[in-house]
Structure 1
């Protein structure tokens, strides 16, 4: 089964509007698990090799970091969606290559299902590379920024 992003969003919307507490679809190639139960992990959408996470309504998310090279980290997308590198069109970007960021600084916003989620740095350092363009569609766990830790 191959679902595109819009079809997955429709399934999630219908699930959120229904009284169903948990939904799981698995055909071997595609796995979708949604849950409204408090003791379950957050709702997740997972193709076979690359997990995709769909958060229930949330307004902020902490980005995780990976260490591609000693002394540097990557800020990765906490969810699937459209990335915005500036607060509004024509505004100054949240971060720029070569500039310092501190742990807790907002580095971008990801929009999914009409909800904006702030992505924050969890490290302090200098932005070495911005790995996405404004308004790119990003995948769960996709690297967004490379930070040289200070």
Structure 2
């Protein structure tokens, strides 16, 4: 694949409302994900709304829960490496901007930063799980 073409695609995706584009040439392909702040907010909001609107006998607890969602497509890593302890665990307090996990995107670890603060209630994924953009990773209360 031509590097200049890939660079142009990345720039166009970054300056658009497109969330994700995959470019293929022969047996090679690359996926470009737009993780700009506006994309993160618009994609994470439906995931949080969907979770809280499900029919659940514990409606009061569900309405107060918040989720930290993946901002990338790849494989989740809860610690700095496969052998490291998770960055957060149930009972921990999370602040806005705190790194709570990583997503392995094409062998590069990309941090997942919390956009909300709260107390970790549940970790919804395990190391190595494949995650899509806006998939809830951590539930806070």
TM-score (norm 2): 0.65
Q: 3-state DSSP class of the match of 2:140?
A: strand
CA RMSD of aligned residues (A): 3.2
- 1:117 aligns to 2:110 (yes or no): yes
The 3 A distance-change label for structure 1 pair 20 and 45 is: closer
String of CA shifts for 1:89-133, please: whole Å, max 9, x gaps: 322210001211111111100011122210011111111111000
Question: Aligned partners of 1:96, 1:44: CA distance in 2, in Å?
Answer: 30
- 1:19 aligns to 2:28 (yes or no): no
Q: 3-state DSSP class of the match of 1:94?
A: coil
Question: Aligned partners of 1:136, 1:79: CA distance in 2, in Å?
Answer: 13
What's 1:39 paired with? 15
Task: Note if contact 2:10-2:32 (Cα within 8 Å) is conserved in structure 1.
Answer: no
Question: Aligned partners of 2:123, 2:6: CA distance in 1, in Å?
Answer: 40
Gaps of 5+ in 2: 23-30, 53-61
What's 1:84 paired with? 77
Higher relative contact order (CA 8 A, sep 6+): 2
TM-superposed deviation, 1:35: 5.1
- Higher relative helix content: 2
The 3 A distance-change label for structure 1 pair 80 and 128 is: same
- Higher relative strand content: 1
